[in-house]
Structures are given as C-alpha cells and as structure tokens.
Structure 1
Amino acid sequence: MNDHAKAVITVDRLSKHYGDRTVLRDVSLSVRKGEVFGLLGPNGAGKTTTLETIVGLRRPSAGTVRVLDHDPASDRRFVTERLAVQPQAATLFPTLTVVETLELFASFHARVRPPEDVLDELELGDARRVRVKHLSGGQERRLLIAIALIGDPEIIVLDEPSAGLDPQARRNLWSIIRRQQERGTTILLSTHHMDEATQVCERIAVLVDGSVAAMGEPETLVREHASTATVTFEIPGTTTVAELRSHDIAGAITVTPKGTLTLVEVVTDDPDAVLRRLTFSTGLRPRGFRVAHGSLEDLFIDLANRPRASAEGERAHER
C-alpha cells in the first residue's frame, strides 16, 4: 500500500448514544494520508459528534476510532501533537493583534512553523498588527485556521470552515485548503455546501440521521445514485419531437430552434441507449453531445429526504 492510500483515520461501526437518544449508528469510514475528505449531512445528522469523537473529545458508545493507529480519547497527547482542530467558532482575545494571537498559540507547541510564514500563507500578512476585534469574518476564520496550522499538524479537522462567509471569502478558503493538501497535510472537514464538497473534497461521506447513507468520490456518487440524466445535442436544420420519436429516442424530449440548428434535450434513465440510437440513426446528423448526470446537491437532497419519507410512510400505514 503506498503512502497516499494508507488510512490515517479509521472509524469502525461507531455509535454514540445519549440516554435513549441515538446520535450515531454504525458509522464506518476511513481517511487516507494526504487527502481532503468531506463529511456532509443536514443539520443534526451527526457530523459534529463524529468529528468530536475522532479528535478525542467524546468516547464512542460502541465501535472504534483510530487516528494514526492510536485511540484519540486514550492517547490524547500523541494525537493532539499531530492533529489540529478548527472549530466553527472559538473565543479569542479581542485586544490582541493577529500576530500576537498566533505567537500565543505557538507557545503551546513543542514544534511550530514560523508565525510569519503561516500569516503569509493564509493571506494575513497585511493584517498582522490588526486587533482581533477589528477583523472581518473572513479574516477571523483564516486566523482560526492559522492557529490550527501553527503546530505543523499532520491532520487538520475543520468543522464547517466556510459557514457564514461570503462567496469570495469561501473561494479564498478553498485555495488555502488546497495549499495545505499540497504540503502533504490530511484534511477532514464537515460542510453542508455542495459546491465546497465538489471543489475541494476527493471523497465524501453523506451522513443522514446518524448513519452513512453514501460514501465515495463526489462525481462517482452522482453517477451511481442519479436516477436520470440529460442528454443534450444539436441537429442541423429543424426537427420535431415526433421525428425524434420515430428514431426510437425514449425519454422526455425538448426541442428548441437555435438559428440554423435545433437544440435537443432528452431526460432519460438510460443515456447510453439514447446515444446508441442517435449514433446509428441515419438522417439526423446530431453533434455536440453532452451528458449531465444531475448534481451532488440533487443526491444530497434525495438522501436527506429518503429516511424521513420512509418514516412518514410507515406511520401513515400504521394509522
């Protein structure tokens, strides 16, 4: 097994109960060395509890968690020296400057990166003398990440790092995450932003009601779970839905005149069959094929609503 394929975080059948309330049910996942892994799910799905258990703040009710082959709850010192956490919010000293804040947290670590290097990397160099209370939301979020990076961790855990940020600040944050990965750092993050998961995560796990509903590469999951796809192409001249039907093109067909061409969209559950029909049909001369398999957001909504719909159906049947 090469280094990139080696798992640095493993979660095996993790469950967490609070009295009669079950928050996590048999959650299993692994995070490989050097990858960005995303934990997705609606509010209350168990994302934060999973992260807190991985970093050792909570103990499992059942199952096991290992970080770099150690129990994060029992081997706290070993894990905290190698893993850093950036929570959704943290209390900082408002009257300290940015560089003073980073130097303070650097004093807690035996091995540190040069504070000025971290500030430059997170684009906070110009704000180094600004007091924390005067920072913008995006600058404060970057400072929290800088605090996580100052100890040169092997693993960074980010709990909804872009929550509350404007679109430009979110994109800047994504660039920072990519740069950390380029340095060889493993990153585990939770998010409910589908564009964030698509842009920065190599693999994701979707949590729904405390269980893993799907896991894998975002594009692969969309292809596997999407029930329909849209095949788009152009035909020279004009055509009609009836003519396309005569070539055994199945699905919901839309035709739109576009100058000397006709733009055609076919929504189908079998895009390969549509492409084969078009390829071997004489007279149509289609070109410019595009196949869209839905989106990660479609998958997320479907998975998030599926258990609720099932539960409502069972209750209706019982009544």
Structure 2
Amino acid sequence: MQQAEAISVQNLEKRYGDKEVVRGISFAVRPGEVFGLLGPNGAGKTTTIECLVGLRSPSRGRAFAERVAIQPQSASLFQSLSVDETLTLFRSFYAAGAEPTAIRKSVGLDEQARTRVKDLSGGQLRRLLLGVALVGDPEVVILDEPSAGLDPSARQALWATIRALSARGVTVLLSTHHMDEATELCDRVGILVSGKLVALDTPEALILAREAETVVSFDMDGHADLAALDGLPGVIDYEVEVTGRGRRVRTRTAAPDDLIRKITFVPGFSARNFDIKRGTLEDLFLELSEASADDASAEGAA
C-alpha cells in the first residue's frame, strides 16, 4: 500500500538564538508529486530543507521524508575522478540503487563519461550533482536551485528529467527562484516569506485566487466612440495609444471574458487583434513578498 505522504512538515519552527527563521510551517507532499518551495532569499527555504534531510534539528515541530536524496546548489566532489567514476563511487554507498550508466544518460552526460570533474562546465557539474542524487534510486529527491547557471537547452533537459522522475512515482521537492520553472513543473507550490508559509496550492489556483485584474488590449478604428467602454462590465480603467492604423486600447478589467464578449457587439466599435495578459506566479510572488515585508516592518516598529 502506497504511503499517503512522501514528505510531511508539521508546525516546523527553527530558531537561532532570538532569531526565528522558520515560523510554524506545515505542508505535506504526496508520492510522485512535484512540489515547489518558493521564497525570496532569507525566507527559510534552505533551513526547511536542512531540517528535512537531517542536517539540522527543528526547534519545534516535525519534518519527515524517507529515502531522500538532495542535489545541493554546490558540493565538493573528487576533482580527479571522471563522471563515470564519480557515479560508480556514489552508487557503491547504497545496498541497492540505479545503474550509473543509465543515470549518466538520464542527466545528459553521455558524452562526458570519461571527463574529469575538474574539466566539467558549470552546467555539466550541476547535472552530475543531480546524477549523484539519483544514483541511490531515492523515493524523494530534493533539488535546490537545480537550473541555476544552465543554458536554455540544458534547462529543458533538466525539466524533462524531473517530469520523468515524477512519472516513475519519485517525489520531487524543488526550490527555485524561477517562477516560470515552478509554473511549468510543479503540481503545487508553497511560498515562504519571512519564515511563514503565506500561500499553498497549485500555481493555477493561486494565480486565479489572487488575480484582481487582467489587461485586455485591442485595436480599434479612429472614429469609434471610446465612451462605450465606460458602461462595459468590469472595466477598471483604460488608456489609448494612437497608431498609424487607428488606436490601440489597453483596458484593465476584473471580467475579461465578459468584456471581450460585450466589445464584439458594440455597434461601430470594430475591435480586433485582441491580446489578454493575465497575472502570473511571479506577480503573485512579488505581491506576497512585498506585503509580508511591510507586515514585518510594522511588527518591528510596534
């Protein structure tokens, strides 16, 4: 019977003297789920990860994961060993595990099998660190900023590896500053700010729940009466740019679908070339970070 939770964090707190770094956070990650742990620098992400893998003891609460491996942002490897020798060495630390050759292929280092660690590029070294994490065939993999320093091609290869891990039932906890990466890969995300978990849900649900407005842009003829916009549903405000072919209208609205439907039926409006810009996970991340920073300032001043 498959366990209900691959990762469990319950009321986790971590203090260093009088400084509270993690402030009573709770979340659980299901087997096979890709979970994003997001937050600005100093939010408590690394401390939470260190508690999960046993590098630090919680001041209070509980953090639990079984058969876990971690790919850190950096690590010390034997510089004179080749890629194959490194993977074989780390495979020998486990009673059972994955075949080093298969891991080397899965992380995109087939052509570097005999290349020594000291001769690898930054991106290749990060892929080797991922291979080291995977060679023990873990049930849970924690990736701390795995795409930092990767070029677009290597980044796409990494994403494919993460998707393949999830498809095999491996649980992935991904710490990243790249909101597009979190949106693309994560089933759910938790956003940490100042040691508090301020949001937890799927990227899509978080965006929809916080999205108060959408920008709808369209072209219209120069003679059309803009006053018609004032009576349309959900219009917050709009601005107009005169172009060589007419006017480009940029409208902020809380009801984009209703607005577009209504615009198409306004006599003489001739709206065309619609463009819709909805909120993103990055917008939400910045909003929550700024709001929590303001709250922290207010607490300090009280």
Structure 2 length normalisation: TM-score?
0.89
CA distance in 2, matches of 1:249, 1:9: 42
CA-CA distance at 1:192 after TM superposition: 1.1
Contact 2:234/2:254 (<8 A) preserved: no
Q: Choose which of 6, 9, 12 in structure 2 pairs with 1:8.
A: 6
**1:96-107 map, 5 Å:** 96-107=81-92
Contact 1:238/1:262 (<8 A) preserved: no
108 and 252 in structure 1: CA distance in 2 versus 1, 3 angstrom threshold: same
Structure 1 residues not aligned, in runs of 5+: 68-78
Deviation by residue 1:253-297 (Cα, 9 ceiling, x = unmatched): 234567767543211244455346436645546566554322111
CA-CA distance at 1:178 after TM superposition: 1.5
Query: The residue matched to 1:6 in structure 2 has which SS?
Result: coil
**1:184-199 map, 5 Å:** 184-199=169-184
RMSD of the alignment, in Å? 2.6
**1:217-296 map, 5 Å:** 217-235=202-220, 238-245=223-230, 250-256=235-241, 263-271=248-256, 274-275=259-260, 277-278=262-263, 281-284=266-269, 286=271, 290-296=275-281
CA distance in 2, matches of 1:38, 1:247: 39
249 and 88 in structure 1: CA distance in 2 versus 1, 3 angstrom threshold: closer
Query: The residue matched to 1:251 in structure 2 has which SS?
Result: strand
Q: Choose which of 11, 18, 38 in structure 2 pairs with 1:20.
A: 18
CA distance in 1, matches of 2:287, 2:272: 32
Q: Does 1:309 align with 2:298?
A: no
Q: Does 1:90 align with 2:72?
A: no
CA distance in 2, matches of 1:208, 1:198: 18
Counterpart in the other structure of 2:162: 177
Contact 1:113/1:151 (<8 A) preserved: yes
Q: Does 1:128 align with 2:126?
A: no
Q: Does 1:109 align with 2:87?
A: no
Deviation by residue 1:176-210 (Cα, 9 ceiling, x = unmatched): 21122222211001111111111211111000000
Counterpart in the other structure of 2:46: 48
239 and 17 in structure 1: CA distance in 2 versus 1, 3 angstrom threshold: same
CA distance in 2, matches of 1:149, 1:180: 10
CA-CA distance at 1:172 after TM superposition: 2.5
314 and 29 in structure 1: CA distance in 2 versus 1, 3 angstrom threshold: closer
CA-CA distance at 1:115 after TM superposition: 1.0
CA-CA distance at 1:50 after TM superposition: 0.7
315 and 238 in structure 1: CA distance in 2 versus 1, 3 angstrom threshold: farther
Contact 1:240/1:255 (<8 A) preserved: no
144 and 247 in structure 1: CA distance in 2 versus 1, 3 angstrom threshold: closer
Number of residue equivalences: 302
287 and 62 in structure 1: CA distance in 2 versus 1, 3 angstrom threshold: same
Structure 1 length normalisation: TM-score?
0.85
Deviation by residue 1:60-81 (Cα, 9 ceiling, x = unmatched): 21122232xxxxxxxxxxx3xx
Query: The residue matched to 1:304 in structure 2 has which SS?
Result: helix
Contact 2:145/2:176 (<8 A) preserved: yes
CA distance in 2, matches of 1:171, 1:112: 26
314 and 188 in structure 1: CA distance in 2 versus 1, 3 angstrom threshold: closer
Structure 2 residues not aligned, in runs of 5+: none
122 and 275 in structure 1: CA distance in 2 versus 1, 3 angstrom threshold: same
CA distance in 2, matches of 1:96, 1:260: 64
Amino acid aligned to 1:28:
S
Larger mean CA deviation between 165-174 and 231-240 belongs to: 231-240
CA-CA distance at 1:161 after TM superposition: 1.1
